């Protein structure tokens, strides 16, 4: 497993480096069926600076060798099975079993990136064939990917191919770093006030994803001082990750931006208030990326020492040099 020195701390306490599972070929390992790799530049050149990796190649780990015959999904008795294109050998159970073998490590993960179009790791839209080789479905899922998501339903999981989409890439990064912050809290000797602090720092971020999710997690926090500790952990974890899994909308982003503006407005003169409101409106009209009003908010919160808004994870959900909010589409 690759390790890195700890990152520098920012004004708000930074989480430890997230641990992210990944299909080995995406980091450049030559383990694909043809002896090649599928190195992802986003993973190796950008995200690599901020996370530790747990690389896994299920096909190599069950001993299929490199190179090897291709695999495909075949529907047998109503069930999708992974079989060899050479002789029809069924390796579904072996591939799924790799997730169980790694379970102790997988439970420590903050995210997972899977190789798309892979009969072992593909997450979405894999072709499924019948016994005669005719395509019968286009909604298959790889055997390892299926087992991974069964074992860890709240884990942020994404396919390599979908990370080329600016919205999905930004969403995945948000979820990974939020997952790391919450995991780090649960791994500490936390007190109810620590959960209150984490929830407060994530207020705008949760609101931008799911206002209902923010209210649900808030109710759990309110009971944390009297509720069973393990029940609080389970309930908050499930509700938090369910809320974060909702894609933010432009309208919810505008609502979060205006909420932050409201905390800051009385400290600004008319010119700065106007500039900030104009930037938020320009974002609403899809004329500037989200990074523009966020940068202004961060600047003014720091200048006026507005601790509540300055420490909001919404304003810095992941390291700045990932540059994920510069697309107008986000």
Quote the pTM value.
0.92
pLDDT in tens, 176-193: 999 999 999 999 999 999
User: Which pLDDT does position 308 carry in this prediction?
Assistant: 85
Per DSSP, the residues of 190-253 read --HHHHHHHHHHTHHHHHHH-HHHHHHHHHHHHTTTTS-HHHHHHHHHHHHHHHHTSPP-HHHH
pLDDT in tens, 109-131: 999 999 999 999 999 999 999 88
Please give the mean pLDDT across all residues of the chain. Answer: 93
Which residues fall within 8 angstroms of residue 312, CB to CB, at 6 or more apart? 201, 202, 203, 204, 205, 260
**CA-CA distance, 318 to 321, in Å (whole number)?**
9
Taking the domains of the chain in order of start, what are their residue ranges? 19-65+94-126+137-163, 165-330
Residue 252 has pLDDT above 70, yes or no: yes
pLDDT in tens, 10-63: 334 555 799 999 999 999 999 999 999 999 999 999 999 999 999 999 999 999
Q: How many CB atoms lie under 10 A from the CB of residue 219? A: 11
């Amino acid at each position: 497993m690759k390790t890195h020195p700890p990152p520098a701390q920012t004004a708000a306490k930074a989480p430890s480096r997230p641990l992210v599972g990944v299909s080995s070929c995406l980091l450049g390992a030559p383990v694909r069926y043809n002896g090649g790799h599928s190195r992802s530049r986003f993973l190796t050149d950008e995200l690599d600076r901020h996370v530790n990796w747990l690389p896994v190649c299920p096909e190599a780990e069950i001993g299929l060798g490199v190179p090897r015959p291709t695999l495909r999904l075949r529907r047998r008795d109503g069930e999708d099975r992974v079989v060899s294109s050479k002789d029809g050998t069924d390796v579904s159970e072996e591939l799924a079993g790799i997730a169980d073998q790694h379970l102790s490590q997988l439970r420590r993960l903050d995210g997972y990136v899977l190789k798309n179009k892979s009969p072992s790791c593909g997450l979405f839209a894999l072709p499924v064939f019948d016994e005669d080789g005719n395509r019968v479905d286009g909604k298959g899922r790889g055997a390892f990917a299926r087992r991974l998501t069964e074992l860890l339903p709240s884990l942020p999981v994404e396919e390599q191919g979908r990370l080329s989409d600016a919205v999905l890439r930004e969403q995945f990064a948000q979820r990974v770093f939020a997952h790391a912050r919450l995991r780090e809290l649960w791994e500490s000797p936390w007190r109810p006030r620590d959960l209150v602090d984490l929830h407060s720092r994530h207020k705008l971020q949760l609101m931008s994803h799911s206002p209902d999710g923010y209210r649900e997690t808030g109710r759990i926090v309110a009971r944390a001082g009297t509720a069973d500790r393990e029940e609080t952990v389970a309930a908050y974890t499930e509700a938090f990750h369910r809320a974060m899994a909702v894609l933010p909308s432009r309208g919810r982003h505008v609502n979060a931006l205006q909420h932050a503006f409201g905390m800051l407005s009385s400290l600004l003169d008319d010119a700065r208030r106007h500039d900030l409101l104009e930037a938020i409106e320009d974002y609403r009209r899809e004329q500037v990326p989200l990074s523009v009003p966020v940068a202004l908010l961060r600047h003014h919160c720091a200048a006026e020492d507005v601790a509540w808004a300055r420490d909001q994870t919404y304003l810095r959900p992941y390291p700045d040099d990932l540059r994920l909010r510069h697309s107008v589409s986000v």
